[in-house]
Amino acid sequence: MESQDTIAGIGITPAAIAEVRKYMEENGSPGNAGLRVGVLPGGCSGFQYGLNIEDEPAEDDLVLDVGGLTLFVDPFSMQYLGGVEIDYVTTFQGSGFTFNNPNATGGCGCGSSFTV
């Protein structure tokens, strides 16, 4: 397992940081843009993760600097993200972001939905 940076209980691996930065550079994101990490009601198991590049944080967001990458996290999502590790993996089946959440009590085959 790669080392990670952890701020406010959210871990993100160097591979994930590099992939987000690459995407932001390729798409001309402004210098104050960041990665929104969110938890949304829905998905097969009750909640699903969301990642999105946004130009600026919302008024009530927690703004974190993790390994030089700015994360925006809303208060609702933060309660479910303590201890989560975000990684970027490449396998024969494809590549994408994964979430290892020690607070999840269940999940489903899609890998992006969980139960607490």
Per DSSP, the residues of 19-75 read HHHHHHHHTT--TT-EEEEEEEE-STTSEEEEEEEESS--TT-EEEEETTEEEEE-H
pLDDT in tens, 39-78: 888 766 678 889 999 999 999 999 988 888 999 999 999 8
CATH code for position 79: 2.60.300.12
Pairwise CA distance, residues 75 & 60, whole Å: 7
Query: Is 60 exceeded by the pLDDT of residue 113?
Result: no
Q: What number of CA atoms fall less than 13 Å from residue 1's CA on the CB side?
A: 10
Q: Which domain holds residue 61?
A: 5-115
pTM: 0.79
Look at strands 5-7 and 69-73 and give their pairing. Answer: unpaired
Query: Is 50 exceeded by the pLDDT of residue 79?
Result: yes
Please state the domain count of the chain. 1
Pairwise CA distance, residues 55 & 36, whole Å: 10
